[in-house]
């Protein structure tokens, strides 16, 4: 089946990929990236990962594969209705990570195209 119109997703942000144990989940996300890139190849220039506690070897590996690994919310730029957020943070249902609370103070998560992760208060 061929997509009849361009993908509305132009940016992807992954939160909380800090350990190698998260790579199993991340492989699934990569399949989603691949499908989005077929419809919109420019998305490959807009793949961001944020986790302030990321292991150094994970940081290097992800950057070597084209992701922009950022440490601070201000480095993420503008996420809007063309942004897809994958949230890998492990926490009790309904509890938002500190980063998301900080992020949501400046930008509403409801403004992004899609949020995939545990339910939270925002």
Contacts of 73 (CB under 8 A, 6+ apart): 50, 99, 102, 103, 106
Q: How far apart are CA 39 and CA 45, in angstroms?
A: 14
From the list 45, 106, 95, 96, the residue with the least C-alpha distance to 72 is: 106
Tell me whether strands 47-50 and 11-15 are parallel, antiparallel or unpaired. Answer: parallel
Phi, psi of 89 (to 5 degrees): -60, 135
Domain range list for the chain: 11-116
pLDDT score recorded for residue 2: 45
Q: Which option is the CATH number for 11-116: 2.60.40, 1.10.260, 2.40.50, 3.40.50?
A: 3.40.50
pLDDT digits (tens, 9 = 90+) for 77-104: 666 778 888 877 655 555 555 656 655 5
């Amino acid at each position: 089946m061929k997509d009849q119109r361009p993908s509305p997703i132009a940016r992807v942000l992954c939160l909380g990929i800090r350990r190698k144990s998260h790579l199993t989940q991340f492989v699934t996300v990569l399949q989603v990236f691949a499908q989005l890139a077929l419809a919109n190849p420019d998305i490959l220039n807009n793949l961001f990962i944020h986790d302030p506690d990321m292991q150094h070897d994970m940081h290097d590996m992800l950057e070597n594969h084209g992701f922009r690994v950022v440490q601070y919310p201000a480095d993420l730029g503008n996420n809007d209705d063309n942004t897809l957020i994958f949230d890998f943070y492990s926490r009790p249902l309904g509890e938002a990570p500190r980063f998301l609370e900080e992020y949501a103070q400046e930008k509403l998560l409801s403004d992004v195209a899609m949020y995939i992760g545990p339910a939270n208060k925002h």
